């Protein structure tokens, strides 16, 4: 039965399909997120990969898309808050 299983559409692909059907809406330029700490110029962004439960990934994507913010900004803010609490 492994060959009979259909693959679903990813959330990102489904959102792009749905957005393609909607009227073009002018994109607003977002101001820097004041909740995130200021980074120094020497603190470059670096790629970071991890595995998360599918349900948590889905919640993250929906939350970020609903707020029109980048997933990396949500993750960065969450990690900053978590680590600052743990470092106390």
Residue with tokens 């393609």: 20
As a whole number of angstroms, the distance between CA 51 and CA 57 comes to: 9
Q: Who contacts 12 (Cβ-Cβ below 8 Å, separation ≥6)? A: 61
Residue 2 has pLDDT above 60, yes or no: no
Mean pLDDT lowest among 2-16, 36-50, 69-83: 2-16
User: Which two structure tokens, joined as six digits, stand for 77?
Assistant: 């803010």
How do residues 51-85 score in pLDDT, each as one tens digit? 999 999 999 999 999 999 999 999 999 999 999 99
User: Burial, 15: exposed, middle or buried (Cβ in 10 Å; 0-12, 13-18, 19+)?
Assistant: middle
Average pLDDT over residues 13-26: 62
């Amino acid at each position: 039965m492994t060959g009979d299983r259909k693959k679903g559409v990813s959330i990102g692909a489904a959102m792009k399909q749905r957005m393609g059907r909607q009227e073009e809406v002018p994109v607003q330029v977002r101001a820097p997120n004041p909740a995130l700490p200021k980074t120094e110029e020497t603190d470059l962004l670096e790629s970071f990969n991890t595995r998360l439960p599918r349900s948590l990934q889905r919640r993250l994507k929906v939350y970020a898309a609903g707020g029109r913010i980048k997933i990396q900004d949500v993750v960065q803010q969450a990690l900053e808050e978590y680590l600052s609490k743990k470092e106390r």
